[in-house]
Amino acid sequence: MEEILSTDVAEAGTVAEENVESSVLVDVIAAEDELVPQKKKRRHINQQKLQDNIWGWIFCIPLLVGTIWFVYSAFVMAVMLSFTNFEMSGAVTLGDVLSHMGDYVYKESTLNPDGTLNLGAVPTPNPFIWYQRVFTTNIASEFAPNEMGIYLFNTVFYMIGIPIGMILSMFFAVCMSRDIKGGNVFRVLYYIPCVASTISIVYTFKIMFSTSGVINQMFGSTLDWLNPNSGLTWNKVVGSQSTSAFMADPYWCQGFVSKLVIVIMSVWKGLGGTIILYVAGLSGVNAATKEAAQIDGANGWQIFWKVTMPDLYPTIFYNIVTSVIGGMQIYAEPVLLFGEHYNTSGYVSLVYIYGLNTVSTPVTGGNKNPSAGAAYGMILAVFIFVMTLFQFWLDSRKKD
Protein backbone atom coordinates (compact mmCIF):
# COMPACT_ATOMS: atom_id res chain seq x y z
CA MET A 1 0.00 0.00 0.00
CA GLU A 2 2.75 2.42 0.94
CA GLU A 3 4.59 1.60 -2.31
CA ILE A 4 1.48 2.43 -4.31
CA LEU A 5 1.04 5.79 -2.52
CA SER A 6 4.65 6.77 -3.03
CA THR A 7 4.38 5.87 -6.73
CA ASP A 8 1.25 8.08 -7.09
CA VAL A 9 2.92 10.99 -5.31
CA ALA A 10 5.96 10.69 -7.54
CA GLU A 11 3.80 10.65 -10.68
CA ALA A 12 1.79 13.64 -9.42
CA GLY A 13 5.02 15.60 -8.81
CA THR A 14 6.23 14.76 -12.28
CA VAL A 15 2.95 15.98 -13.83
CA ALA A 16 3.09 19.21 -11.81
CA GLU A 17 6.64 19.89 -12.93
CA GLU A 18 5.63 19.29 -16.55
CA ASN A 19 2.68 21.75 -16.17
CA VAL A 20 4.94 24.42 -14.68
CA GLU A 21 7.45 23.97 -17.48
CA SER A 22 4.62 24.21 -20.06
CA SER A 23 3.23 27.44 -18.54
CA VAL A 24 6.72 29.00 -18.46
CA LEU A 25 7.23 28.03 -22.08
CA VAL A 26 3.90 29.62 -23.04
CA ASP A 27 4.85 32.83 -21.22
CA VAL A 28 8.19 32.97 -23.00
CA ILE A 29 6.54 32.48 -26.40
CA ALA A 30 3.96 35.21 -25.60
CA ALA A 31 6.72 37.62 -24.57
CA GLU A 32 8.62 36.94 -27.77
CA ASP A 33 5.44 37.55 -29.78
CA GLU A 34 5.02 40.92 -28.08
CA LEU A 35 8.58 41.91 -28.94
CA VAL A 36 8.11 41.02 -32.61
CA PRO A 37 6.14 43.85 -34.33
CA GLN A 38 2.87 42.61 -35.70
CA LYS A 39 1.99 43.41 -39.27
CA LYS A 40 -0.98 45.76 -39.53
CA LYS A 41 -3.84 44.32 -41.41
CA ARG A 42 -4.68 46.30 -44.52
CA ARG A 43 -7.94 48.04 -44.05
CA HIS A 44 -10.37 47.34 -46.82
CA ILE A 45 -11.38 50.56 -48.58
CA ASN A 46 -15.02 50.85 -49.43
CA GLN A 47 -14.83 52.44 -52.88
CA GLN A 48 -18.46 53.55 -52.88
CA LYS A 49 -18.14 55.26 -49.50
CA LEU A 50 -14.86 56.89 -50.55
CA GLN A 51 -16.47 58.23 -53.70
CA ASP A 52 -19.43 59.59 -51.73
CA ASN A 53 -17.08 61.35 -49.31
CA ILE A 54 -15.07 62.90 -52.13
CA TRP A 55 -18.20 64.23 -53.85
CA GLY A 56 -19.50 65.49 -50.51
CA TRP A 57 -16.34 67.53 -49.93
CA ILE A 58 -16.44 68.83 -53.50
CA PHE A 59 -19.95 70.17 -52.95
CA CYS A 60 -18.95 71.63 -49.56
CA ILE A 61 -15.83 73.43 -50.80
CA PRO A 62 -17.68 76.45 -52.36
CA LEU A 63 -19.62 76.97 -49.13
CA LEU A 64 -16.51 76.60 -46.96
CA VAL A 65 -14.46 78.97 -49.13
CA GLY A 66 -17.27 81.52 -49.26
CA THR A 67 -17.85 81.37 -45.51
CA ILE A 68 -14.15 81.70 -44.66
CA TRP A 69 -13.51 84.49 -47.15
CA PHE A 70 -16.71 86.55 -46.96
CA VAL A 71 -17.59 85.98 -43.28
CA TYR A 72 -14.62 85.09 -41.10
CA SER A 73 -11.95 86.95 -43.06
CA ALA A 74 -14.22 89.97 -43.45
CA PHE A 75 -14.98 89.92 -39.73
CA VAL A 76 -11.28 89.84 -38.80
CA MET A 77 -10.51 92.67 -41.22
CA ALA A 78 -13.43 94.73 -39.85
CA VAL A 79 -12.13 94.29 -36.30
CA MET A 80 -8.68 95.48 -37.36
CA LEU A 81 -10.17 98.29 -39.45
CA SER A 82 -12.10 99.68 -36.48
CA PHE A 83 -8.80 100.55 -34.78
CA THR A 84 -7.27 102.37 -37.78
CA ASN A 85 -7.57 105.75 -39.49
CA PHE A 86 -8.46 104.36 -42.92
CA GLU A 87 -10.42 106.79 -45.12
CA MET A 88 -12.03 106.01 -48.47
CA SER A 89 -11.33 108.16 -51.51
CA GLY A 90 -12.18 106.74 -54.90
CA ALA A 91 -11.65 103.08 -55.73
CA VAL A 92 -10.35 100.96 -52.89
CA THR A 93 -8.36 97.76 -53.26
CA LEU A 94 -7.59 95.03 -50.77
CA GLY A 95 -3.99 96.23 -50.69
CA ASP A 96 -5.18 99.70 -49.61
CA VAL A 97 -7.05 98.22 -46.67
CA LEU A 98 -4.18 95.96 -45.63
CA SER A 99 -1.69 98.82 -45.84
CA HIS A 100 -3.62 100.69 -43.14
CA MET A 101 -4.02 97.75 -40.79
CA GLY A 102 -0.92 98.75 -38.83
CA ASP A 103 -1.68 102.47 -38.86
CA TYR A 104 -3.18 103.10 -35.45
CA VAL A 105 -2.57 106.88 -35.32
CA TYR A 106 -5.51 109.13 -36.10
CA LYS A 107 -4.69 112.75 -36.77
CA GLU A 108 -7.93 113.95 -35.11
CA SER A 109 -7.57 111.90 -31.97
CA THR A 110 -9.41 114.07 -29.43
CA LEU A 111 -13.12 114.62 -28.94
CA ASN A 112 -15.06 117.77 -28.23
CA PRO A 113 -17.53 117.75 -25.30
CA ASP A 114 -20.42 117.07 -27.71
CA GLY A 115 -18.65 114.00 -29.13
CA THR A 116 -17.52 115.54 -32.42
CA LEU A 117 -13.89 115.24 -33.51
CA ASN A 118 -11.46 118.04 -32.77
CA LEU A 119 -9.99 118.92 -36.16
CA GLY A 120 -7.10 120.89 -34.68
CA ALA A 121 -5.80 118.12 -32.48
CA VAL A 122 -2.15 117.15 -32.44
CA PRO A 123 -1.59 113.64 -33.88
CA THR A 124 -1.47 111.12 -31.03
CA PRO A 125 -1.77 107.32 -30.98
CA ASN A 126 -5.38 106.52 -30.11
CA PRO A 127 -6.72 103.28 -31.64
CA PHE A 128 -9.96 103.60 -29.64
CA ILE A 129 -10.98 106.97 -31.08
CA TRP A 130 -13.96 105.57 -32.99
CA TYR A 131 -15.27 103.62 -30.02
CA GLN A 132 -15.09 106.82 -27.95
CA ARG A 133 -17.06 108.63 -30.62
CA VAL A 134 -19.72 105.90 -30.73
CA PHE A 135 -20.61 106.50 -27.09
CA THR A 136 -20.31 110.31 -27.10
CA THR A 137 -21.53 111.71 -30.43
CA ASN A 138 -24.77 113.64 -29.97
CA ILE A 139 -27.56 114.85 -32.24
CA ALA A 140 -28.92 118.39 -31.91
CA SER A 141 -31.91 117.37 -29.80
CA GLU A 142 -32.90 117.15 -26.16
CA PHE A 143 -34.51 113.73 -26.19
CA ALA A 144 -31.51 111.34 -26.18
CA PRO A 145 -27.91 111.36 -24.92
CA ASN A 146 -26.23 110.28 -28.15
CA GLU A 147 -26.89 109.01 -31.64
CA MET A 148 -26.15 105.34 -30.84
CA GLY A 149 -28.84 105.41 -28.17
CA ILE A 150 -31.35 106.80 -30.66
CA TYR A 151 -30.71 104.23 -33.37
CA LEU A 152 -30.51 101.41 -30.84
CA PHE A 153 -33.86 102.48 -29.36
CA ASN A 154 -35.41 102.36 -32.84
CA THR A 155 -34.12 98.82 -33.28
CA VAL A 156 -35.46 97.69 -29.90
CA PHE A 157 -38.82 99.30 -30.71
CA TYR A 158 -39.09 97.25 -33.91
CA MET A 159 -38.46 94.11 -31.87
CA ILE A 160 -41.82 94.66 -30.16
CA GLY A 161 -43.18 92.80 -33.17
CA ILE A 162 -41.39 89.58 -32.12
CA PRO A 163 -43.69 88.61 -29.20
CA ILE A 164 -46.72 89.85 -31.14
CA GLY A 165 -45.78 87.67 -34.11
CA MET A 166 -45.06 84.68 -31.85
CA ILE A 167 -48.48 84.82 -30.21
CA LEU A 168 -50.36 85.33 -33.48
CA SER A 169 -48.44 82.62 -35.33
CA MET A 170 -49.01 80.18 -32.45
CA PHE A 171 -52.73 80.90 -32.54
CA PHE A 172 -53.01 80.40 -36.31
CA ALA A 173 -50.80 77.29 -36.21
CA VAL A 174 -53.04 75.66 -33.60
CA CYS A 175 -56.09 76.51 -35.71
CA MET A 176 -54.48 75.11 -38.87
CA SER A 177 -53.39 71.92 -37.13
CA ARG A 178 -57.02 71.01 -36.58
CA ASP A 179 -58.68 68.65 -39.00
CA ILE A 180 -60.65 71.27 -40.91
CA LYS A 181 -61.42 71.70 -44.58
CA GLY A 182 -59.17 74.10 -46.45
CA GLY A 183 -56.36 73.98 -43.89
CA ASN A 184 -53.68 73.66 -46.56
CA VAL A 185 -55.17 76.60 -48.47
CA PHE A 186 -54.82 78.83 -45.40
CA ARG A 187 -51.23 77.71 -44.91
CA VAL A 188 -50.38 78.77 -48.46
CA LEU A 189 -52.18 82.11 -48.12
CA TYR A 190 -50.36 82.99 -44.91
CA TYR A 191 -47.00 81.96 -46.38
CA ILE A 192 -47.30 84.14 -49.51
CA PRO A 193 -45.79 87.26 -47.80
CA CYS A 194 -42.63 85.24 -47.09
CA VAL A 195 -42.26 84.54 -50.81
CA ALA A 196 -42.95 88.12 -51.92
CA SER A 197 -40.00 90.51 -52.20
CA THR A 198 -39.39 93.06 -49.47
CA ILE A 199 -39.56 95.93 -51.97
CA SER A 200 -43.02 94.95 -53.20
CA ILE A 201 -44.28 94.65 -49.61
CA VAL A 202 -42.78 98.03 -48.66
CA TYR A 203 -44.44 99.83 -51.54
CA THR A 204 -47.75 98.11 -50.83
CA PHE A 205 -47.62 99.44 -47.27
CA LYS A 206 -46.52 102.85 -48.55
CA ILE A 207 -49.74 103.05 -50.57
CA MET A 208 -51.87 101.71 -47.69
CA PHE A 209 -50.50 104.18 -45.14
CA SER A 210 -50.36 107.27 -47.35
CA THR A 211 -52.44 110.30 -46.32
CA SER A 212 -55.16 109.22 -48.77
CA GLY A 213 -54.61 105.49 -48.29
CA VAL A 214 -56.98 102.83 -47.05
CA ILE A 215 -55.80 103.04 -43.41
CA ASN A 216 -56.61 106.74 -43.08
CA GLN A 217 -59.90 106.19 -44.87
CA MET A 218 -60.83 103.45 -42.41
CA PHE A 219 -60.19 105.71 -39.40
CA GLY A 220 -61.37 108.91 -41.06
CA SER A 221 -58.04 110.65 -40.45
CA THR A 222 -55.32 112.36 -42.47
CA LEU A 223 -52.37 111.24 -40.37
CA ASP A 224 -49.03 111.44 -42.16
CA TRP A 225 -47.58 108.05 -41.23
CA LEU A 226 -44.68 108.02 -43.66
CA ASN A 227 -43.03 111.45 -43.40
CA PRO A 228 -40.41 111.48 -40.63
CA ASN A 229 -39.78 115.18 -41.36
CA SER A 230 -43.38 116.33 -40.87
CA GLY A 231 -42.62 117.59 -37.36
CA LEU A 232 -45.70 115.99 -35.81
CA THR A 233 -45.65 116.26 -32.00
CA TRP A 234 -47.98 115.11 -29.26
CA ASN A 235 -48.68 118.76 -28.54
CA LYS A 236 -50.16 119.10 -32.02
CA VAL A 237 -52.10 115.87 -31.67
CA VAL A 238 -53.74 116.73 -28.33
CA GLY A 239 -53.67 120.52 -28.76
CA SER A 240 -51.51 121.28 -25.71
CA GLN A 241 -48.62 123.67 -25.14
CA SER A 242 -46.42 121.46 -22.97
CA THR A 243 -42.70 122.24 -22.94
CA SER A 244 -41.59 118.72 -22.00
CA ALA A 245 -39.19 116.95 -24.36
CA PHE A 246 -41.63 114.08 -24.75
CA MET A 247 -44.62 116.21 -25.81
CA ALA A 248 -42.77 118.79 -27.90
CA ASP A 249 -40.15 116.66 -29.67
CA PRO A 250 -41.17 115.10 -33.02
CA TYR A 251 -39.08 111.99 -32.29
CA TRP A 252 -41.55 110.78 -29.68
CA CYS A 253 -44.63 111.37 -31.82
CA GLN A 254 -43.77 111.24 -35.52
CA GLY A 255 -41.07 108.69 -34.78
CA PHE A 256 -43.55 106.53 -32.87
CA VAL A 257 -46.19 106.74 -35.62
CA SER A 258 -43.71 105.93 -38.39
CA LYS A 259 -42.06 103.08 -36.48
CA LEU A 260 -45.48 101.58 -35.83
CA VAL A 261 -45.85 100.99 -39.58
CA ILE A 262 -42.61 98.97 -39.59
CA VAL A 263 -43.81 96.85 -36.65
CA ILE A 264 -47.10 96.07 -38.40
CA MET A 265 -45.35 95.24 -41.67
CA SER A 266 -42.71 93.04 -39.99
CA VAL A 267 -45.34 91.04 -38.10
CA TRP A 268 -47.43 90.52 -41.24
CA LYS A 269 -44.41 89.61 -43.38
CA GLY A 270 -42.91 87.10 -40.94
CA LEU A 271 -46.14 85.46 -39.83
CA GLY A 272 -46.23 82.76 -42.51
CA GLY A 273 -42.75 81.36 -41.92
CA THR A 274 -43.28 81.14 -38.16
CA ILE A 275 -46.67 79.48 -38.65
CA ILE A 276 -45.12 76.76 -40.81
CA LEU A 277 -42.52 76.01 -38.12
CA TYR A 278 -45.17 75.82 -35.41
CA VAL A 279 -47.39 73.57 -37.51
CA ALA A 280 -44.42 71.23 -38.03
CA GLY A 281 -43.71 71.32 -34.29
CA LEU A 282 -47.33 70.60 -33.40
CA SER A 283 -47.28 67.51 -35.62
CA GLY A 284 -44.56 66.09 -33.37
CA VAL A 285 -46.49 66.48 -30.11
CA ASN A 286 -47.03 63.12 -28.40
CA ALA A 287 -50.63 62.15 -29.16
CA ALA A 288 -50.64 59.42 -26.48
CA THR A 289 -49.83 61.97 -23.77
CA LYS A 290 -52.63 64.25 -24.95
CA GLU A 291 -55.07 61.35 -24.95
CA ALA A 292 -53.98 60.34 -21.44
CA ALA A 293 -54.52 63.93 -20.25
CA GLN A 294 -58.00 63.94 -21.75
CA ILE A 295 -58.83 60.67 -19.98
CA ASP A 296 -57.65 62.21 -16.70
CA GLY A 297 -60.13 65.06 -17.21
CA ALA A 298 -57.84 67.85 -18.42
CA ASN A 299 -59.52 70.52 -20.53
CA GLY A 300 -58.16 71.95 -23.78
CA TRP A 301 -56.36 74.87 -22.11
CA GLN A 302 -54.64 72.59 -19.60
CA ILE A 303 -53.59 70.17 -22.36
CA PHE A 304 -52.13 73.07 -24.35
CA TRP A 305 -50.03 74.43 -21.45
CA LYS A 306 -49.03 71.14 -19.81
CA VAL A 307 -48.58 68.87 -22.83
CA THR A 308 -48.35 70.84 -26.08
CA MET A 309 -46.12 73.72 -24.94
CA PRO A 310 -43.36 71.54 -23.40
CA ASP A 311 -43.13 69.47 -26.60
CA LEU A 312 -43.16 72.65 -28.68
CA TYR A 313 -40.44 74.39 -26.64
CA PRO A 314 -37.51 73.59 -29.03
CA THR A 315 -39.41 75.24 -31.89
CA ILE A 316 -40.28 78.25 -29.75
CA PHE A 317 -36.67 78.66 -28.62
CA TYR A 318 -35.40 78.46 -32.21
CA ASN A 319 -37.90 81.09 -33.37
CA ILE A 320 -37.00 83.46 -30.53
CA VAL A 321 -33.24 83.22 -31.11
CA THR A 322 -33.43 83.69 -34.88
CA SER A 323 -36.02 86.48 -34.57
CA VAL A 324 -33.89 88.44 -32.11
CA ILE A 325 -30.79 88.11 -34.30
CA GLY A 326 -32.75 89.18 -37.38
CA GLY A 327 -34.50 92.00 -35.51
CA MET A 328 -31.21 93.49 -34.36
CA GLN A 329 -30.07 93.66 -38.00
CA ILE A 330 -33.16 95.33 -39.48
CA TYR A 331 -32.20 97.79 -42.19
CA ALA A 332 -34.03 97.54 -45.53
CA GLU A 333 -37.62 98.15 -44.40
CA PRO A 334 -37.11 101.50 -42.58
CA VAL A 335 -34.79 102.83 -45.28
CA LEU A 336 -37.12 101.89 -48.14
CA LEU A 337 -40.13 103.44 -46.40
CA PHE A 338 -38.61 106.56 -44.86
CA GLY A 339 -35.03 106.91 -46.10
CA GLU A 340 -32.10 107.41 -43.74
CA HIS A 341 -33.52 109.30 -40.76
CA TYR A 342 -32.80 109.08 -37.07
CA ASN A 343 -36.56 109.00 -36.34
CA THR A 344 -36.91 105.60 -37.96
CA SER A 345 -33.58 104.02 -39.01
CA GLY A 346 -32.24 100.99 -37.17
CA TYR A 347 -28.77 100.53 -35.74
CA VAL A 348 -27.38 98.98 -38.94
CA SER A 349 -27.94 102.31 -40.67
CA LEU A 350 -25.06 103.74 -38.62
CA VAL A 351 -22.71 101.22 -40.21
CA TYR A 352 -23.84 102.35 -43.66
CA ILE A 353 -23.99 106.08 -42.90
CA TYR A 354 -20.46 106.26 -41.54
CA GLY A 355 -18.83 103.54 -43.60
CA LEU A 356 -20.26 103.92 -47.10
CA ASN A 357 -22.69 106.83 -47.36
CA THR A 358 -21.59 109.94 -49.26
CA VAL A 359 -24.81 111.91 -48.79
CA SER A 360 -24.83 114.57 -46.07
CA THR A 361 -27.14 113.72 -43.17
CA PRO A 362 -27.97 115.45 -39.86
CA VAL A 363 -25.67 112.94 -38.20
CA THR A 364 -22.61 112.77 -40.44
CA GLY A 365 -22.58 116.02 -42.40
CA GLY A 366 -21.30 114.05 -45.40
CA ASN A 367 -18.34 112.37 -43.72
CA LYS A 368 -17.42 108.86 -44.78
CA ASN A 369 -15.01 106.72 -42.79
CA PRO A 370 -15.02 102.91 -42.95
CA SER A 371 -13.14 102.75 -39.63
CA ALA A 372 -16.06 104.39 -37.85
CA GLY A 373 -18.53 102.13 -39.65
CA ALA A 374 -16.50 99.08 -38.64
CA ALA A 375 -16.55 100.23 -35.00
CA TYR A 376 -20.32 100.52 -35.07
CA GLY A 377 -20.51 97.08 -36.66
CA MET A 378 -18.31 95.51 -33.99
CA ILE A 379 -20.48 96.94 -31.22
CA LEU A 380 -23.58 95.52 -32.92
CA ALA A 381 -21.88 92.11 -33.14
CA VAL A 382 -21.14 92.25 -29.41
CA PHE A 383 -24.77 93.17 -28.66
CA ILE A 384 -26.07 90.22 -30.69
CA PHE A 385 -23.52 87.83 -29.22
CA VAL A 386 -24.35 88.80 -25.63
CA MET A 387 -28.10 88.58 -26.22
CA THR A 388 -27.75 85.16 -27.84
CA LEU A 389 -25.60 83.89 -24.98
CA PHE A 390 -28.18 85.19 -22.51
CA GLN A 391 -30.95 83.29 -24.28
CA PHE A 392 -28.95 80.06 -24.25
CA TRP A 393 -28.19 80.63 -20.55
CA LEU A 394 -31.90 80.93 -19.82
CA ASP A 395 -32.49 77.78 -21.84
CA SER A 396 -29.87 75.86 -19.83
CA ARG A 397 -31.46 76.99 -16.56
CA LYS A 398 -34.84 75.75 -17.76
CA LYS A 399 -33.38 72.32 -18.60
CA ASP A 400 -31.71 72.07 -15.20
Q: Closest Cα partner for 321 from 286, 283, 274, 287?
A: 274
299: left (phi over 0), alpha (psi -120 to 50) or beta: beta
Reading the chain (400 residues) residue by residue, the pLDDT tens digits are 444 445 544 444 554 455 545 555 555 455 555 554 555 566 666 778 888 888 989 999 999 999 998 888 888 888 888 887 666 554 445 555 555 544 544 444 455 655 555 545 445 566 777 787 777 766 655 555 577 888 899 999 999 999 999 999 999 888 888 777 777 788 888 888 888 888 999 999 999 998 888 998 888 888 888 888 888 888 888 878 887 878 888 888 888 899 999 999 999 998 988 998 898 888 888 778 888 888 888 887 888 888 888 888 889 999 999 999 999 999 999 999 998 888 899 999 888 888 777 555 444 455 567 788 888 899 999 999 999 999 999 888 876 6
- Report DSSP state, residue 337: H
Q: Which amino acid is at 328?
A: M
What DSSP line would sit under 378-398, residue for residue?
HHHHHHHHHHHHHHHHHHHHH
Half-sphere exposure of 1 (CA within 13 A, CB side): 0
Q: Closest Cα partner for 251 from 227, 222, 231?
A: 231
Domains and CATH numbers, the chain: 48-134 (no CATH), 147-368 (1.10.3720.10)
- Report DSSP state, residue 106: E
With contact defined as beta carbons under 8 Å apart, do 81 and 376 qualify? no
* CA pair distance 303, 139, nearest whole angstrom: 53
With contact defined as beta carbons under 8 Å apart, do 340 and 363 qualify? no
Q: Closest Cα partner for 377 from 31, 53, 76, 94?
A: 76
Question: pTM here?
Answer: 0.75
